[in-house]
Structure 1
Amino acid sequence: MIKKLIFALSFLMLISISAQRKDDTRMVTETAEKLRLAMISGEKSALESLILPELTYGHSGGHINDAKEFVEKLVTKKSDFLTIEITNQRVQIIGNTAIVRHHFYATTADLGKAPGDVTLDILLVWAKVKNDWKLLARQAVKAEKKK
């Protein structure tokens, strides 16, 4: 009888963990979409609500921004995304951390320059703070050219 009870409790716990992981994956995906939209709009409050103060934001050219620089560049249109398209997104949840990888294609008009195109592969690290997911780190690399 005890073995059956332990098995049943273990099974219920496994189902609960699986359901939580699916919910976290959905929440991270939704939060990443909010970040995409906030990067296009350049709305300061939206950007700040999605990031941690400890944010480290790495660009494909090697420059690294902190949270303040990240927000400032988007708000002032020093970095101006007209469009951002995300494809091939993969989310991996490990405890209270989420690793998100995706392909990033954007049209830019930084400081009013003629539109340019950016094609990158992105790594995002999200941390769960209470019930919200906040961006802790981002690293961009130039997308590998297909042969």
Structure 2
Amino acid sequence: MAVPHRTIRALAVATALCGAASMPSARAAGPEVEVEAAVDALTQAILAADRAALDALVLDGLSYGHSSGAVQDKAAFVDALASRRSSFPTITLTKRSASVVGEDAIVRHVFDGETVSDGKTVPVHIGVLQVWHRDGGRWRLLARQAFKI
């Protein structure tokens, strides 16, 4: 029996929001695994345009930089996706790395996918640097900067 996509997305978000540290296998593997789970939950929230999940996964002081040079705060980032003014039908993250320093984490990856804006679909191939902060026991995105490869 196939698991519905909605169930998989809900589990990913729940894992990130509840803190993967409560899971024995994640605790044994270290905080990098927790951060990776948060990255996966954010990716799923972006794909689903899930306002509540996006809001929960990013900090109020978010600085979200695009490869075009545009920078969004939390409200602009969440609203653009949740309203579907900007959407991502596909996202694949490769060459992933995460390192944790205290309550902060640095994540790097290559982002491949498609974006749809103003009815136009454009392929995306960019590098990304993310900064995550452990806030109340869960990882939340503080900053993101994309760059052209």
Q: What range describes the TM-score normalised by the shorter chain of this pair?
A: 0.7 to 0.9
Matches within 5 A, 1:76-95: 76-95=83-102
Other-structure match for 2:23:
none
* Candidates 19, 38, 50, aligned match of 1:31: 38
Structure 1 stretches of 4+ moved >2 Å: 19-23
Within the alignment, does 1:136 sit opposite 2:142 as a pair? yes
1:118 aligns to what? Answer: 124
Shift of 1:125: 0.2
String of CA shifts for 1:124-146, please: whole Å, max 9, x gaps: 00000121000000000011xxx
Counterpart contact for 1:58–1:140, Cα < 8 Å: yes
CA displacement at 1:21 relative to structure 2 = 8.6
**TM-score normalized by the length of structure 2:** 0.79
Question: CA-to-partner distance for each residue in 1:93-136, whole Å, 9 max, x for gaps?
Answer: 101100000000011221322x2101100000000012100000
Match of 2:130, SS state, is strand
Q: CA RMSD in A?
A: 1.5
Say how many residue pairs are matched.
124
Asked which structure has the greater CA Rg, the reply is 1
What is aligned with 2:69? 62
User: Identity percentage over the alignment?
Assistant: 36
Q: Distance in 1 between matches of 2:128 and 2:37?
A: 17
Query: How far apart, CA to CA, are the structure 1 residues paired with 2:106 and 2:62?
Result: 14
User: Contact between 1:77 and 1:111, CA under 8 Å: does it hold in 2?
Assistant: no
In the other structure, the counterpart of 1:15 is none
**Structure 2 residues without counterparts, runs of 5 or longer:** 1-25
Q: Secondary structure at the match of 2:86?
A: coil
Contact 1:81 1:110 in 2 (8 A): no
Structure 2 residue 79 is the aligned partner of structure 1 residue 75: no
The alpha-carbon deviation at position 22 of structure 1 amounts to: 3.6
**Whole-angstrom distance in 1 between the partners of 2:88 and 2:28:** 32
- Whether the 8 Å CA contact 1:50–1:134 is kept in 2: the answer is yes
User: Separation in 2 of the partners of 1:111 and 1:81?
Assistant: 12
